[in-house]
Amino acid sequence: MEVIDNQPWNRGPLDPSPIDREYFEAAAQGRLIIQKCADCGNTQFPPKALCVSCGQVPDWIEASGKGKIYTFTVVRRHGVEPFSSLAPFVLAMIDIPEGARFMGNITCRDPETTQVGQNVEAYALRIDETMALPLWRSTQST
């Protein structure tokens, strides 16, 4: 996945848990990772200490970065920064071929063009030297 380095991070400091930090650090290296359980095969997002299906410690696998919008909403007003400045923005549930369903932002110039079933791809916005935030965009846009 592409990592965008030339946009200043203006969404405030991020202090993730150790498990979430692995996800953000992989993103800074251009890898979208999700958890997969070696015992039961469950894939899950967001990352958790244990498999939500069977309670074992899950492994990390790299996802392709491709996805399809399952459903979405356009957030037009938000009471908390940095989200109030970002509104309107698209919050979507995204199905990926590896099996997990992501909750994430679709970034686009016009939220009204977003559609259920639309193909999207992950990219990452650099936070600092070690972390980046995965976001999603339409595969048709540049």
DSSP SS3 for 2: strand
Span interacting with Zn ion, options 28-36, 51-59, 64-72, 83-91, rule CB under 5 A: 51-59
- 53 contacts Zn ion (rule: CB under 5 A): yes
Cβ of residue 100: shortest distance to Zn ion, in angstroms?
Answer: 13
Distances from the Cα of 98 to the Cα of 16, 45, 63, 95, angstroms: 24, 11, 6, 8
Cβ of residue 61: shortest distance to Zn ion, in angstroms?
Answer: 13
- 39 contacts Zn ion (rule: CB under 5 A): yes
15: Cα within 13 Å, side-chain hemisphere = 1
Binding residue for Zn ion, selected from 42, 107, 114, 138, defined by CB under 5 A: 42
Burial of 86 (0-12, 13-18, 19+ CB in 10 A): middle
Q: What is the dihedral of CA 53, 57, 60, 63, to 10 degrees?
A: 0
**Nearer Cβ to Zn ion (37/133):** 37
- 34 contacts Zn ion (rule: CB under 5 A): no
- 59 contacts Zn ion (rule: CB under 5 A): no
Site for Zn ion in 71-110 (CB under 5 A): none
Cβ of residue 5: shortest distance to Zn ion, in angstroms?
Answer: 36
- 40 contacts Zn ion (rule: CB under 5 A): yes
Distances from the Cα of 5 to the Cα of 1, 28, 46, 84, 127, angstroms: 13, 9, 24, 23, 9
Q: Which residues bind Zn ion (CB under 5 A)?
A: 37, 39-40, 42, 51, 53-54, 56
